[in-house]
Structure 1
Amino acid sequence: MSPASPAPPSSPADGAPVRAAGCVLWRRSPVDGELEICLVHRPKYDDWSHPKGKLKRGEDALAGALREVVEETGYTARPDAELATLRYLAAGRPKEVRYWAAEATGGGFVPNTEVDRLLWLSPVTARHRLTQPRDRELVTEMLLSYGRSH
């Protein structure tokens, strides 16, 4: 008899949540200096969201969040406050997404197959544009973490 091999850490059979991470990416507008929030459009889901994605096996959540920001937006970022961890079902499976507030520090967007559009919006407009209500609270939390009002 051969020993049974253990299931990988997030295999669908074990019921473990899919681990993901992302950022509420922000900058000061180059036009008027006002705070702007970055939202990405994913054509696969036809939705507007914060940049985020699944973690690679063994990847640190913050490192994964910053990697996803670069991959989806083309921007590098300086992380600050950790924000809420969102938990929900995705394709019938539990998903856990850790978020950080992060300031864009450089780079630029180039459309790709995963993200075809990017917008920099005022916090109020970003809240309205976000597809999922759960993502809207992250904008409020990011603003509060900096002591800013909307």
Structure 2
Amino acid sequence: MSPPGPVVAAGCVLWRRSPYDGGLEVCLVHRPRYDDWSHPKGKLKRGEEPRDAAVREVLEETGHHCEPGAALPMLRYEVNGHPKEVFYWEAPATGGAFVPNDEVDRVAWLSPAAARDRLTRPADRVPLDAMIAARPDA
């Protein structure tokens, strides 16, 4: 019997232009279950494509609609001894509003540098750094 495949998840580096100064802001979510700060992401539903899952998870976790653009580096790591793969896209927020829920109790819109510092898992900086490197206006 072959070992089970990795858990597959998807998410976005969600961004917007600051309503105050027009600078780039990145949205991070706080998950009270883990007491961590991360990009909005989650597991795929059966038969769901990663990009569709990323859009769904952003909406569920942040209350914001988004339009995924360029693919960002995929992360591979282990969770409780099981392999996990997380696909990411850069995505501008296109509207919506956050409402706290059981999974996410807070969001923070931060400058890229502040978001990089706030991320709990160092590996989560990889897709953020890739998005920033690809944006001449960041």
TM-score by length of 1: 0.89
User: Would you say 1:48 and 2:37 are equivalent positions?
Assistant: yes
- 1:127 counterpart residue number: 116
Q: Which has the higher contact order (CA 8 A, sep 6+)?
A: 2
User: Would you say 1:27 and 2:44 are equivalent positions?
Assistant: no
Instruction: Provide the C-alpha distance between the structure 2 equivalents of 1:14 and 1:63, rounded to a whole number of angstroms.
Output: 26
SS class of match (1:14): coil
Instruction: Provide the C-alpha distance between the structure 2 equivalents of 1:81 and 1:33, rounded to a whole number of angstroms.
Output: 21
Shift of 1:148: 3.8
Instruction: Provide the C-alpha distance between the structure 1 equivalents of 2:136 and 2:21, rounded to a whole number of angstroms.
Output: 20
- Kept in 2, the 8 Å contact 1:40–1:115? The answer is yes
- Kept in 2, the 8 Å contact 1:43–1:114? The answer is yes
Amino acid aligned to 1:119: A
RMSD of aligned residue pairs (Cα, Å)? 1.3
Instruction: Provide the C-alpha distance between the structure 1 equivalents of 2:97 and 2:105, rounded to a whole number of angstroms.
Output: 13
The count of corresponding residues between Structure 1 and Structure 2 is 138
Amino acid aligned to 2:108: L
- Answer with 1 or 2: which has the greater Rg: 1
Amino acid aligned to 1:54: K
- 1:89 counterpart residue number: 78
Unaligned ranges ≥5, structure 1: 1-6, 8-12
Unaligned ranges ≥5, structure 2: none
Instruction: Provide the C-alpha distance between the structure 2 equivalents of 1:114 and 1:25, rounded to a whole number of angstroms.
Output: 17
Give the share of equivalent positions with the same residue, in percent.
Answer: 62
- 1:57 counterpart residue number: 46
- 2:64 counterpart residue number: 75
- Kept in 1, the 8 Å contact 2:74–2:127? The answer is no
TM-score by length of 2: 0.96
Shift of 1:137: 2.0
Instruction: Provide the C-alpha distance between the structure 1 equivalents of 2:70 and 2:132, rounded to a whole number of angstroms.
Output: 10
User: Would you say 1:18 and 2:7 are equivalent positions?
Assistant: yes
